[in-house]
Structure 1
């Protein structure tokens, strides 16, 4: 049975304590893994790709990560999340087939698997793997078996707090049927996404970064405004056509597929540069096998990140690659990395995601992902 519906107003978290007393433990068993002391967190330095050696920068970032953990434990910080993520939460059913059938044809199913899905959940799975503490908000779930299953699955993520999600008798939990083929392409069939609503948010606890996708309607934009007004760094996903959301963000990340949806015959790079200029925001464009690019608020290309090379025989499913890339960018911001290093890490994370079925399923540990980012390729296991 689902818990009773919670009010949409979230109470602020207590002010972090810096006393010598041990931190108060949460009711749910959660480990707090901080990133950096707050004075180390600033806006992205717009360094050029040749400004420093990537392996050295990533080694330094890994050291800062460990320093952040030690500093956080020393001061006993509690009630502070690394990330608050607001967005789409659904159930994915992933069916792997050898090829997509033509009309009137049939194929055998190779595997059939249920996975927690949606942009917010796919990203949260990655953050959990890297040890970041996450508050998950967004889709109002139905009071149905899919919601019950989702809550149980989310409860298995040690660093993800899903306790403030809401459910309603008037809602249906969205679900997606995904047909995946060996070339990593997938065809999606969704239900209840058009009617999907996000939970209302009036207050937010303290966090280093707030990130969202805009698919939960007006309540998503309201949540972004609350986060901005609270002084959080906001990273928005797929918001090039949502100025109400993008205006709250410091960085917008979107994919070439999202831009092609808006301008089917257009030049995605030119559109991205124009969108960055019109929105007055930094914009990161993901280009699949062609890597990713960053544009400043004047629409000028400031960094081009090659994609991480993945052997074809390791590719399983592309579901959630964009969400995991976003997760990598947000991770970098939480740890204070310059944007080029965050993009390198995000590219490595997205490459790992290709190697398993379902969003976030292929994500590897922080150290492994840093190594892959430095190498620029994903090697076969020995």
Structure 2
């Protein structure tokens, strides 16, 4: 199955605050917030939602095509992705802008405060998905992840005009989209990915009820953190898939991207959606146990039989 993953490609600056953000907030001063958190650890890793998902698919034995825009500073990251099996030939390299930056601080309750600098991501709208499909010999599924909003809309329209199945995964960009834009990104998607908060925001942005959303997509997949995943489709009761508890939680960043990679890997193997979601939850647990979103190389122990002989398995 030939999968293209579009979306952000970034460098992650991950910091840890040895306290609780909520202890620093004053209820009567929330209109004038000026806070500084003294972090006790800084780690710099390669990230971005598209790169994270593509990395996970490659570790699981697939050869996904990564589609996004970066700066000239992408050389090392690109080499590392290619080493695990990601096709980076459709990544656009900006001549003037740096690769996007994600700066995130996590407290002891696993709450996060983050800032994202788009940088070269703004040039993703210049990428022609039809050219990507021609170069790769055709695509069986395109995941449209958080990216430059114009690029997301353009890729979605390209999928419709080319007859390519697509998965809608607007995530962080939902807050900045208006009603017509959100509807354009969702309508006709084979898969729709959200977390619980994004699910509510998506209903507000589209103006559609859950039933109306389900009438326009194939399967709506909602991640619920420690409560697992909810799978919903039109005309059938929703299915809940429990989370796979990690042994420890090192950093929550990238767990949702790992779930998507595991789920899509299962779909590519023809698994039922429930089984694919269970595998996605297992891969998410691996990332929760790991510092960095692209640092794991082993598959979950309980799924060795399912992935026997796949590169990256142990």
TM-score normalised by length of structure 2: 0.76
Map of 1:116 onto structure 2: 46
Paired with 1:208 and 1:263, the residues of 2 have a C-alpha distance of: 28
Kindly state the Cα deviation for residue 196 of structure 1 after the two structures are TM-superposed.
2.5
Paired with 1:363 and 1:340, the residues of 2 have a C-alpha distance of: 24
Paired with 1:120 and 1:252, the residues of 2 have a C-alpha distance of: 15
5+ residue gaps in structure 1? Answer: 1-80, 265-270, 374-382
Kindly state the Cα deviation for residue 178 of structure 1 after the two structures are TM-superposed.
1.4
Kindly state the Cα deviation for residue 149 of structure 1 after the two structures are TM-superposed.
4.2
Residue pair 1:272, 1:283 contacting (<8 A) in 2 also: no
Taking the TM superposition and a 5 Å limit, the aligned residue runs for 1:63-102 are 82-100=2-20, 102=24
Paired with 1:254 and 1:94, the residues of 2 have a C-alpha distance of: 23
Kindly state the Cα deviation for residue 107 of structure 1 after the two structures are TM-superposed.
3.4
Map of 2:66 onto structure 1: 136
Map of 1:276 onto structure 2: 213
5+ residue gaps in structure 2? Answer: 25-33, 307-314
Paired with 1:129 and 1:195, the residues of 2 have a C-alpha distance of: 24
Paired with 2:288 and 2:227, the residues of 1 have a C-alpha distance of: 15
Query: SS where residue 161 of structure 1 aligns?
Result: coil
- Structure of larger gyration radius: 1
Residue pair 1:252, 1:284 contacting (<8 A) in 2 also: yes
Alignment RMSD: 3.1
Query: SS where residue 55 of structure 2 aligns?
Result: helix
Map of 2:185 onto structure 1: 245
Paired with 1:88 and 1:150, the residues of 2 have a C-alpha distance of: 13
Q: Deviations over 1:270-309 (max 9, x none)?
A: x8734533534321111111111111135x5331111112
Paired with 1:214 and 1:350, the residues of 2 have a C-alpha distance of: 19
Aligned pair 1:200/2:127, yes or no? yes
Q: Deviations over 1:103-126 (max 9, x none)?
A: 66753523x222111110111121
| Gap change, CA 1:337 and 1:149, over 3 Å in 2 | same
| Gap change, CA 1:164 and 1:278, over 3 Å in 2 | same
Paired with 1:195 and 1:133, the residues of 2 have a C-alpha distance of: 23
Map of 1:356 onto structure 2: 290
Kindly state the Cα deviation for residue 151 of structure 1 after the two structures are TM-superposed.
2.8
Map of 1:310 onto structure 2: 246
Map of 1:126 onto structure 2: 56
Paired with 1:297 and 1:214, the residues of 2 have a C-alpha distance of: 25
Residue pair 1:291, 1:304 contacting (<8 A) in 2 also: yes
Kindly state the Cα deviation for residue 244 of structure 1 after the two structures are TM-superposed.
1.8
Map of 1:380 onto structure 2: none
Aligned pair 1:342/2:276, yes or no? yes
Residue pair 1:86, 1:213 contacting (<8 A) in 2 also: yes
More helix by share: 2
How many residue pairs are counted as aligned between the two chains? 279
Map of 2:301 onto structure 1: 368
Residue pair 2:169, 2:192 contacting (<8 A) in 1 also: yes
Map of 2:254 onto structure 1: 320
Task: Pick one of 131, 147, 151 that aligns with 2:78.
Answer: 151
| Gap change, CA 1:185 and 1:106, over 3 Å in 2 | closer
Paired with 1:222 and 1:369, the residues of 2 have a C-alpha distance of: 40
Q: Deviations over 1:300-358 (max 9, x none)?
A: 533111111234xx111110111111112211111111111111111111122100122
